[in-house]
Structure 1
Amino acid sequence: MSAIAEPRRATLYRMVMDKHVCPFGLKAKDLLQRQGYTVDDRWLTTREETDNFKAKHGVKTTPQTFIAGKRIGGYADLRRHFGKSVADPKATTYKPVVALFAMTALMALAASQAVYGTPFTVRAGEWFIGFSIAVLALLKLQNVESFATMFLNYDLLAKRWVPYSYIYPFAEGLAGVLMIAGVLTSVSVPVALLIGTVGAVSVIKAVYIDRRELKCACVGGSSNVPLGFLSLTENLMMIAMSVWMGVAALGLVSVAHL
């Protein structure tokens, strides 16, 4: 008769105070449990107790996990211990832009379904671009100062006229909202065409001519999105939408929404 395997155990020290519960401690406990460990969950309930624990073990942060008497470390160390990836907060990534475009596409399809009874309409395509432009503007407006600083690294017009870097998010937001509503084309088209064209030329020069490696301000000034193809896409969408709406306003095309 085979012996019953002993359950795997881990000891976790984490901060649990009246006004603060360490989120990384909760993550570490959840990860251990998902890996099949029984957790001896030990709380550090005061600042003094936490500081004493850090001094005793020579560590700078909590939580700290111990398995079989060996200190594994904090949450990131625990993930590495189990062979899981650990995100580098300084690494460049396109994920924010991909996630944004995916969500605005779903929003456009949902709006089309609600209004026309089918998700696949020309208006859904127009809404996708309008929603994308509006959400991109929203991300910039969260911290205009930070956006302007990053934007000045590559935008040709902003370098010549600094106030443009502060005006840009508001102008982009206005164009996006007007495009979604399908009103005041005489305002949205010129605004979108201007900022889209200047932006596209700026990205092409910085990335494809000067070969500079920069971060894009397209999703806000604190992002790690590299300046490149997806950054250019934002500007090309504004150009395409402004041309499409301008042509439609002149009556040169007549397209049914369904």
Structure 2
Amino acid sequence: MTTGSPARKHATLWRMVMPGHLCPFGLKSKWLLRHKGYTVEDHHLTSRAETDAFMRDEGVETTPQTFIGGERIGGYDALRAHFGYRVMKEGDTSYRPVIAIFAVAALMSLALAWLVEGTLVVPGVPERFIAISMVLLGLQKLQDVEGFSTMFLNYDLLARRVVPYGYVYPYAETGAGLLMLAGLLPWLSAPVALAIGTVGAVSVFKAVYVERRELKCACVGGGSSVPLGFVSLTENLMMIVMALWVGLRALA
């Protein structure tokens, strides 16, 4: 006796496909459903009026909308949650942005070592890693200096006393990192990194470990989801170590 192949799972998707707008979340929903082994009954909403009528009839406020087994799952985020993926909600925190920066900085420092010295095992790799990390972190802040300075005021002790410091900080961090990476002007880069690193370390330690406040770190710019804590303290301690190393080497 032969058995047929098991029936494929079926889902119904309603999404906007208009001449001037192709909903990206609709495409993502369709891909995710197919990735999970579903056949997709794909309905296109081709006009604003058609979309509004669909949302009114279904009692929803957004599209796309996915239905599985006659049950409405919801939009793309709801679909991801249905399949067990983590969905970031308002107020959630994640270390992913800063981990990504540190990982790329490490790989860039190794790439430079291979390019310049032809080997990955060289004394300058940790130094380059810290300098590149400073540049990348500063770059994140420079994308929205206004947003960063506002978030920075939540915990930085110097910025609270001298508000313009929050606007200067991204340039100071980026500039010091670039000078250290190039090996230029240690008399300038070391004091700058030491100053901002020390103030930052004291500010983070006070806010997190003394006052026990739950804040988000401005280390990757305004609107960051990174929690203020050990990673933020580590960023500042790295700047202090780098500043001392560069300064002592310049004096030797």
Category of TM-score, reference length = shorter chain: over 0.9
- Of stretches 191-200 and 78-87 in structure 1, the one that deviates more from structure 2 is 78-87
Shift of residue 159, structure 1, vs aligned partner: 1.0
Shift of residue 88, structure 1, vs aligned partner: 2.4
- Counterpart of 1:105? 106
- Counterpart of 2:116? 115
Q: Partners in 2 of 1:247 and 1:80 — Cα distance?
A: 52
- Counterpart of 1:173? 174
Q: Partners in 1 of 2:121 and 2:198 — Cα distance?
A: 28
TM alignment of 1:215-230, pairs within 5 A: 215-230=216-231
- Of stretches 158-167 and 4-13 in structure 1, the one that deviates more from structure 2 is 4-13
User: What amino acid sits opposite 1:42 in the alignment?
Assistant: H
- Counterpart of 1:256? none
The SS at the match of 2:7 is coil
Provide closer, same or farther for how the CA distance between residues 201 and 54 of structure 1 changes in structure 2, counting only shifts above 3 A. same
Deviations 1:21-77 (A, max 9, x none): 111111110111011111111111111111111011111111111223332221222
Q: Partners in 2 of 1:201 and 1:99 — Cα distance?
A: 25
Q: Provide TM-score, normalisation by structure 2.
A: 0.95
The SS at the match of 2:120 is coil
User: What amino acid sits opposite 2:101 in the alignment?
Assistant: L
Q: Partners in 2 of 1:230 and 1:4 — Cα distance?
A: 51
Q: Partners in 2 of 1:79 and 1:173 — Cα distance?
A: 37
Deviations 1:51-109 (A, max 9, x none): 11101111111111122333222122222333333232421121111111111001101
Shift of residue 175, structure 1, vs aligned partner: 0.2
Shift of residue 218, structure 1, vs aligned partner: 0.7
Shift of residue 250, structure 1, vs aligned partner: 1.1
Q: Partners in 1 of 2:85 and 2:187 — Cα distance?
A: 53
The SS at the match of 2:21 is coil
The two structures, once aligned, show a CA RMSD in angstroms of 1.3
Say yes or no: does 1:42 pair with 2:40. no
Q: Provide TM-score, normalisation by structure 1.
A: 0.93
Q: Partners in 1 of 2:32 and 2:39 — Cα distance?
A: 11
Q: Partners in 2 of 1:218 and 1:104 — Cα distance?
A: 15
- Counterpart of 1:188? 189
The SS at the match of 1:16 is strand
Q: Identity of counterpart residues, as a percentage?
A: 61
Unaligned runs of 5+ in 2: none
Q: Tell me the matched-pair count.
A: 251
Deviations 1:121-149 (A, max 9, x none): 12111110110001111001111111111
The SS at the match of 2:219 is coil
Shift of residue 181, structure 1, vs aligned partner: 0.5
Unaligned runs of 5+ in 1: 252-258
Q: Partners in 2 of 1:100 and 1:80 — Cα distance?
A: 27
Deviations 1:136-169 (A, max 9, x none): 1100111111111111111111111111111111
- Counterpart of 2:22? 21
- Counterpart of 1:203? 204
The SS at the match of 1:245 is helix
Q: Partners in 1 of 2:203 and 2:69 — Cα distance?
A: 57
Q: Partners in 1 of 2:157 and 2:85 — Cα distance?
A: 42
- Counterpart of 2:33? 32
- Of stretches 178-187 and 88-97 in structure 1, the one that deviates more from structure 2 is 88-97
User: What amino acid sits opposite 1:127 in the alignment?
Assistant: R
Q: Partners in 2 of 1:124 and 1:81 — Cα distance?
A: 44
TM alignment of 1:1-258, pairs within 5 A: 1=1, 2-251=3-252
Q: Partners in 1 of 2:23 and 2:104 — Cα distance?
A: 30
The SS at the match of 1:10 is strand
Provide closer, same or farther for how the CA distance between residues 53 and 98 of structure 1 changes in structure 2, counting only shifts above 3 A. same
Q: Partners in 2 of 1:210 and 1:231 — Cα distance?
A: 16
User: What amino acid sits opposite 2:158 in the alignment?
Assistant: L
